[in-house]
């Protein structure tokens, strides 16, 4: 590994899904990277041929065993970038001796249960012909069942949230001394959520950074995140994918002037008139989420809640029902704003405008994916208007607020 760090900046096409299908000869193809044949078969099964910009930027370095720091928003393909790297390394360097159970070769840390479970699902899809043991340990789920799974076979890839992983480490069920690849996903989110002391304890359980490969991803790289990156990586190659516009071009953005006391009524009217196929509604607080769900249910709307205080089993069921189309509407806090990939979301409604402009972009990025068209509607009341200047600065243009433009309801 060289003792230098290089930045590689790209201006990508509009943000789409994790790996984009299509026929675009000017883009890198996965089969150009000499990936293992079983991995290429799985990628082909998923219907994908061409790399997203973050994959094109990261893979030449990560596959050559360089440490990488990657700056990219969710939905740009970073999950596939690091999973392809991990799976290729494990395939090309098989175990030379039996490893104790609970001793993973690769570790991926994620800040939320939902993101960790999504990464596990993607890893299983990509590794289905490789015979690897891929497991996930997260809080809010049965500890013993997770322990039984990680002890059932030699562990190749472990995906985890920090708190639950420390539980296993403290009980000596998991040993990280043989980790060859460490992935830190959404480092800025871990920082925001106060997980860095836990993450630091976990990182110190792995081999020294000179004896492992580290892939460090974050949507933003402020001074605090850069300090973490410098601590945990060795002369990394930095790949930055900064969209030309921070909000995807496939999403029509609307900002409706609605009084605070009229928001629930306006949402109900919108649902009754437009009858959208699959809608995510975001509220800023859990209590507000539950009040809104109750309000809509009383008016005959099929809806479910997705928030941090909903039991984990119920949250997973809700997500699956939403993905399957069994429930057309989910009201969520920002627990669903990152790392959740649900195809076919036609509308995103910001019942409240988020305080952080980045959260706005993450929210509306749940629609308009994989080239499809989407619509975002943000309710702007007297309680939301003070967030507009920061959002305008972040988006780089003025925001025009209008009266709701619902068509006349059919009799």
Closest CA to 264 of 286, 292, 303: 292
Q: What span, in angstroms and rounded, lies between the C-alpha atoms of 192 and 186?
A: 10
pLDDT tens digits, 151-185: 999 999 999 999 999 999 999 999 999 999 999 99
pLDDT tens digits, 211-263: 999 999 998 888 999 999 999 999 999 998 865 445 567 889 999 999 999 99
pLDDT (0 to 100) of residue 242: 61
Contact 144, 123 (CB under 8 A): no
Closest CA to 83 of 22, 146, 45, 132: 132
HSE, side-chain direction, 13 A CA sphere, residue 361 = 27
pLDDT (0 to 100) of residue 343: 77
Rg, the chain, Cα only: 22
> Which residues, other chains included, contact 61 with Cβ-Cβ below 8 Å and sequence gap of 6+?
68, 237, 239
Q: What span, in angstroms and rounded, lies between the C-alpha atoms of 304 and 332?
A: 9
Element (H, E) at 239: strand 237-241
CA dihedral 337, 78, 200, 227 (to 10 degrees): -100
Tokens 């840390």 sit on residue: 109
Task: List the chain domain ranges.
Answer: 7-241, 251-395
pLDDT (0 to 100) of residue 10: 36
Which strands, in side-by-side order, build the sheet including 251-257? Answer: 251-257, 374-380, 347-350, 279-282, 329-332, 304-306
Q: What span, in angstroms and rounded, lies between the C-alpha atoms of 59 and 85?
A: 7
The length of the chain, given as a count of residues:
411
Return the CATH number of the domain spanning residue range 251-395: 3.40.50.300
Q: What is the DSSP string of 152-198?
A: SS---EEEE-HHHHHHHHHTTS---TT--EEEE--HHHHHHTT-HHH
Q: What span, in angstroms and rounded, lies between the C-alpha atoms of 152 and 321?
A: 30
Q: What span, in angstroms and rounded, lies between the C-alpha atoms of 350 and 294?
A: 18
Rounded alpha-carbon distances, angstroms, from residue 93 to 121, 207, 227:
23, 17, 31
pTM: 0.66
φ, ψ (nearest 5 deg) of residue 374: -140, 165
Per-residue pLDDT 10s for the chain (411 aa) are 333 344 444 333 333 334 444 444 567 899 999 999 999 999 999 888 889 889 999 999 999 999 999 998 766 789 999 999 999 999 999 998 889 999 999 999 999 888 899 999 999 999 999 999 999 999 988 999 999 999 999 999 999 999 999 999 999 999 999 999 999 999 988 988 889 999 999 999 999 999 999 999 998 888 999 999 999 999 999 998 865 445 567 889 999 999 999 999 999 999 999 999 999 999 998 899 999 999 999 999 999 998 877 777 788 788 888 888 899 999 998 865 555 667 789 999 999 999 888 788 888 888 877 667 899 999 999 888 888 888 888 888 889 999 998 765 554
Contact 376, 251 (CB under 8 A): yes
Helices then strands, counting H and E runs in the chain, come out as 14, 14
Cα 156 to the center of its chain, rounded Å: 22
Q: Would you call 216 helix, strand, or coil by DSSP?
A: strand
Return the CATH number of the domain spanning residue range 7-241: 3.40.50.300
For helices 78-92 and 37-45, the axis angle rounded to 10 degrees is 150
CA angle, residues 31, 37, 43, in degrees to nearest 5: 60
The residues with which 107 forms a beta bridge, in sequence order, are 158, 182
Q: What span, in angstroms and rounded, lies between the C-alpha atoms of 89 and 57?
A: 18
Strands in 258-371 per DSSP E? 279-282, 304-306, 329-332, 347-350
Q: Would you call 289 helix, strand, or coil by DSSP?
A: helix
pLDDT (0 to 100) of residue 164: 96
Tokens 């099929």 sit on residue: 302
């Amino acid at each position: 590994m060289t003792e230098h760090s290089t930045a590689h900046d790209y201006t990508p096409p509009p943000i789409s899904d994790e790996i984009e299908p299509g026929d675009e000869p000017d883009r890198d193809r996965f089969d150009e990277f000499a990936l293992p044949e079983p991995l290429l078969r799985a990628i082909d099964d998923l219907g994908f041929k061409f790399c997203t910009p973050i994959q094109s930027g990261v893979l030449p370095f990560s596959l050559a065993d360089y440490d990488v720091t990657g700056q990219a928003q969710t939905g740009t393909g970073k999950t596939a970038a690091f999973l392809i790297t991990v799976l290729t390394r494990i395939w090309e360097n098989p175990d030379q001796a039996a490893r104790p159970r609970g001793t993973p070769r690769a570790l991926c840390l994620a800040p939320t249960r939902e993101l960790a479970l999504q990464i596990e699902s993607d890893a299983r899809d990509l590794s289905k012909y490789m015979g690897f043991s891929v497991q996930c340990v997260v809080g809010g789920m049965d500890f013993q069942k997770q322990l039984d799974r990680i002890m059932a076979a030699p562990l190749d890839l472990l995906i985890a949230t920090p708190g639950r992983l420390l539980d296993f480490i403290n009980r000596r069920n998991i040993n990280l001394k043989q980790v060859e690849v460490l992935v830190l996903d959404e480092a800025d989110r871990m920082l925001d959520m106060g997980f860095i002391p836990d993450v630091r304890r976990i990182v110190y359980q792995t081999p020294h950074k000179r004896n492992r490969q580290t892939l460090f991803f974050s949507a933003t790289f402020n001074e605090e995140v850069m300090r973490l990156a410098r601590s945990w990586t060795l002369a990394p190659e930095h790949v930055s994918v900064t969209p030309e516009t921070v909000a995807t071009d496939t999403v029509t953005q609307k900002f409706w002037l609605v009084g605070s006391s009229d928001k629930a009524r306006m949402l109900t009217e919108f649902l009754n008139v437009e009858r959208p196929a699959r809608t995510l509604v975001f509220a800023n607080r859990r209590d507000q989420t539950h009040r809104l769900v109750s309000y809509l249910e009383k008016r005959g709307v099929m809806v479910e809640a997705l928030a941090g205080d909903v039991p984990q089993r119920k949250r997973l069921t809700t997500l699956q029902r939403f993905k399957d189309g069994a429930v057309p509407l989910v009201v969520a806090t920002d627990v669903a704003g990152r790392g959740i990939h649900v195809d076919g979301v036609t509308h995103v409604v910001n019942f409240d405008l988020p305080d952080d402009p980045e959260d706005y972009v993450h929210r509306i990025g749940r629609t308009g994916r994989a080239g499809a068209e989407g619509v975002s509607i943000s309710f702007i009341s007297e309680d939301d208007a003070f967030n507009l200047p920061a959002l305008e600065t972040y988006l780089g243009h003025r925001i025009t607020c209008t009266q709701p433009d619902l068509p006349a309801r059919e009799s």
